[in-house]
Amino acid sequence: MLRYLLWAVLAFSLVRLVSRLFRPERAQSPPSAQAAEPGVLVQDSVCGTFVDRSRALTARDQTGEVRYFCSEACRRKAR
Ligand SMILES: [Zn+2]
């Protein structure tokens, strides 16, 4: 009887181990992360700081070109 219980515990822990192995692989490539393009750096034209594009503030200049800023203070200076 004890041996059956031991096998049940072993099987249960094996299932948990396998599911844990597959879970991080799914978390690495969610479709939303690819759309946001994390890790792409853009330069703030006011202070020269490089900012992650997904976090940078944007504004369009007179020519309609998108410019990136590290903060609201830099965006105000550009105008
Ligand atoms: Zn800046």
- Annotated domain spans of the chain: 2-26+37-78
Dist CA 52 CA 68 (whole Å): 10
Could you tell me which residues are beta bridge partners of residue 52? 41
Q: How close is the Cα of 70 to the center of ligand 1, in Å?
A: 4
- pTM beyond 0.75: no
Q: What is the mean pLDDT of residues 14-34?
A: 69
Tell me which residues have their CB within 5 A of the ion that is ligand 1: 44, 46-47, 49, 70, 74
- Mean pLDDT for 23-29 is 61
CA of 42 to the centre of ligand 1 (A): 11
In the predicted structure, residue 32 carries a pLDDT above the cut 60: no
CATH T-level topology, domain 2-26+37-78: Ribosomal Protein L24e; Chain: T; (2.30.170)
